[in-house]
Structure 1
């Protein structure tokens, strides 16, 4: 590589003389082309500029130089005093006269290091701007995701429902919904966790509401509804798409919850005064690989007065340290108000944040159903 060097002095004659001496000394260590800096074209293409600092104060010359993508060095006699321009950082270094080849080589290496540092700085700035844009995009995505989630649910007689959602950075999203039949005899609930934006709540919310309406028929099992959801989704699933789904229908006649649980979403139930027990997942998530042969089965659970049902996506479970640690955590808050339990789950997630506006790795959804102590079964 040929380095383009320019010498800027008091006049053309002094520049030419310094350029010749510099060229002879540099010839032993590097491939250089040294020219007088009075030529505007030379100054425009110069990679390294040597400014004669042996005479008048060079501050004015240095102030007029564009330092972007180039290095600037002061040329001083060995016994010269250090000029103010050097102490103020107006130059990248000093070259002493008479010129020594190794010092010239050292200055060329400083130029290479400066280029590298400038590139690192540029990349860092670009990366910071990209992060800012991504953060803005994530905040928009969070607002969009939240806009698809019900802000609050209508009061459901016999239950206290507490829910919390945190938007995460990973592709996909959670969706929770709750609906009561017009005659108040049936309550349907759904918690989904999709692995891609294509299966996110923007699509699922419409589909789920359609299926919820179908499920109000008490003769229809939850597994039948889930199969219909699966049939609707199979044609649109990508190779890597996964949908975890908890779907349940609660009858007010006997407070029997018939539910289907697929994939990684978790459900826990604690009777009056009892410990939490996990409601096992019946099968793998809905996916193209599982296809129409996915095993979809229904389970039943009778809710008791003062019982507590908890539905959570795996975002909260992972933040707590896994299934075992999560089970221990919720057990400690079994008798606490539902808001305290949910707030503790949120605290577990946010305690790992380095900045207040950080986001969890993935969406986190938790819903607590507390059964009224005065529960009355319909005849």
Structure 2
């Protein structure tokens, strides 16, 4: 019997995503239930968004309290949550190793400025406009990178299938192979406004660059007077076991874009610019109606506080290693990559769609970003028991997908 939700969806929503795999009704922690009452372990977390899982009491309380106090104000006015969150993010971006950036470090925040948005794509748009204020037209980005779907963000995204239907796109953008420091050095010139990189590429299937790559990017940007921009929309806010993945390299960028896990599912994004870059956008250069609203900022503060209070950075580091080790144990998996709870794996054949479908039948939500790759980005609160259950079910999931028994 046809699912009535599918029929209603097809009749009323634009076909931008294709038919939904499920209609979900509720969630709790790292678990969700569909409208038929079937339970699933959510190993995708809204694509790295649900940092605290579903219905976390701290997030529910923060949003409820703020909405009952002060919901929306225009950007003609300020709110305490907006200011506090900006201060926290500036401290986190340059914190030593990404740990311990809390109240103490707020006493001497690193110089910089924050522009709040409603999504990662909007954060990228703000940063893209910021780079134009340098007076230079050129940006160097990486093949395989993903930065969003609006016209500006799409101009910075290399995938031809995304770009071609909407060309010509704005900007002078050169794409270089990700992880190739020599290619990067050859592409950057004195006309380059910014070098844009993900510290780990997410949409490409969790691609980790070679050691020293981000430092090489910093050096080449400095050599030509360009900004170094890290897109931490997927890797940030504890996802990889550090507050921000670029901390692992010790490199300090000029611009960082954040979103996804920042407010645990409440829409928010942030363009963070350090040093002189923080003054490039001035009144009239950019704007937003909803960006930085008190409820979104209160939600983000609750996420940061909870990650700290529950020791989730250490939890993510330990549990992520267990998952990567367990997934690699099956010979049908040829490689496992990632840090923390951002995990990508390669399959021996192009059956990732079948594997994702088999996982769903077994009660686990995973993602297949390419024909031979699976991506996991579960809530940071994923339990050891849920991780163990997935690893126990993993061989049977592959059997089901590959027609083996």
- Give TM-score, length-normalised by structure 2: 0.22
Q: Which has the larger radius of gyration?
A: 1
More strand by share: 1
Q: Which has the higher helix share?
A: 2
Query: With CA pairs under 8 Å and 6+ residues apart, which has the higher RCO, 1 or 2?
Result: 2
